[in-house]
């Protein structure tokens, strides 16, 4: 992503995000396996995974694969998922839910014993198909988001986008909410910029938190667990053989800011991948 000269006007951004979350795919793209002959178990969704992709971040093949590998374990019964992309609030670009779906909770053995074999066989076939459908839908949405050419986007509204998306997370009734954010986490908007001379700027976490507070840019993730992959990535890394250096102090300040930001946004930042995660998403 390219940097730009900061301009005043965060109030305009704050007003714009109120209705900026668009839905491209079905709210539940996976057909249920339950019908008049089989009653669905009355259970809450166990875990809902929210994959959030920043289209302004230049991910290499290895990191894209890491995102896919961390998503795969969540494709199981009584789990839900969604893929949302964001970049900047500019013409043709906005926060958008690409796909969402839910895998049915499976029947207990006592319930299975009361169902005829032909009906049960069709049910089992449908349940097995759901995992394949979820994998295909998730893979397609992530591929679409990662492959989009957004090299001309000069801004990155990370604060506003995450605040916007948090409203969807808050609505979830799942017992556990997990948020996987694929982003450089480098704000570059009318509120503030984490850039300086095509590199990551040494920020003052307390000062940046005050700016976020003053512009009403804290969110509400309803107690979700958050993982970040891609922190600190720069477009310049792909242009230079040795990449762009970020000192440990610069990255520590960035991590400190986001840990506090998520805490103030009712979420727990479990791991801040710089850029890769060292532990699996759980």
Helices 205-214, 248-264: crossing angle, 10 deg rounding: 30
Pick from 134-143, 144-153, 157-166, 239-248: least confident = 239-248
**Is 82 among the domain residues?**
yes
**Is 1 among the domain residues?**
no
Q: What confidence score (pLDDT) does residue 236 get?
A: 65
Pick from 23-27, 68-72, 95-99, 104-108: least confident = 23-27
Residue 248, burial from CB neighbour count under 10 angstroms (0-12, 13-18, 19+): exposed
**Is 281 among the domain residues?**
no
Number of domains in the chain: 1
**Is 278 among the domain residues?**
no
For residue 171, what pLDDT band results from cuts at 50, 70 and 90? very high
Sorted by sequence, the CB contacts under 8 Å of residue 149 that are 6+ apart come out as none
Return the higher-pLDDT residue of 153 and 144: 144
Instruction: Specify whether the CB–CB gap between 142 and 59 falls below 8 A.
Output: no
**Is 147 among the domain residues?**
yes
**Is 133 among the domain residues?**
yes
Helices 61-71, 117-147: crossing angle, 10 deg rounding: 150
pLDDT digits (tens, 9 = 90+) for 19-60: 455 555 557 899 999 998 899 998 899 999 999 999 989 899
Pick from 22-26, 87-91, 113-117: least confident = 22-26
pLDDT digits (tens, 9 = 90+) for 181-198: 999 999 999 999 999 888
**Is 199 among the domain residues?**
yes
Q: What is the pTM of this model?
A: 0.88
**Is 263 among the domain residues?**
yes
The CA-atom distances, in angstroms, between 263 and each of 6, 78, 231, 270 are 27, 28, 18, 11
Give the residue numbers spanning the domain of 266: 10-272
């Amino acid at each position: 992503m390219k940097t730009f000269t900061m301009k005043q006007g965060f109030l305009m951004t704050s007003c714009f995000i109120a209705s900026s979350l668009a839905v491209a795919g079905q709210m539940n793209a996976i057909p249920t396996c339950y019908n008049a002959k089989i009653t669905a178990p009355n259970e809450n969704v166990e875990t809902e995974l929210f994959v959030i992709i920043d289209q302004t971040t230049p991910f290499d093949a290895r990191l894209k694969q890491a995102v896919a590998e961390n998503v795969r374990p969540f494709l199981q019964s009584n789990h839900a998922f969604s893929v949302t992309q964001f970049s900047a609030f500019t013409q043709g670009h906005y926060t958008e839910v690409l796909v969402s779906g839910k895998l049915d909770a499976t029947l207990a053995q006592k319930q299975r014993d009361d169902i005829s074999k032909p009906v049960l066989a069709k049910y089992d076939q449908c349940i097995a198909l759901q995992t394949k459908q979820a994998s295909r839908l998730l893979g397609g949405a992530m591929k679409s988001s990662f492959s989009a050419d957004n090299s001309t986007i000069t801004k990155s509204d990370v604060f506003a986008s995450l605040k916007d998306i948090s409203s969807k997370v808050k609505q979830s009734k799942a017992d556990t909410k997990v948020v996987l954010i694929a982003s450089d986490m480098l704000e570059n908007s009318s509120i503030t910029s984490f850039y300086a001379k095509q590199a990551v700027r040494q920020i003052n976490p307390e000062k940046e938190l005050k700016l976020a507070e003053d512009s009403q840019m804290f969110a509400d993730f309803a107690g979700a667990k958050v993982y970040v992959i891609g922190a600190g990535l720069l477009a310049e890394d792909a242009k230079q053989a040795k990449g762009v250096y970020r000192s440990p102090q610069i990255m520590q300040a960035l991590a400190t800011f986001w840990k506090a930001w998520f805490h103030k946004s009712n979420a727990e930042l479990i791991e801040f991948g710089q850029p890769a995660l060292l532990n699996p998403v759980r």
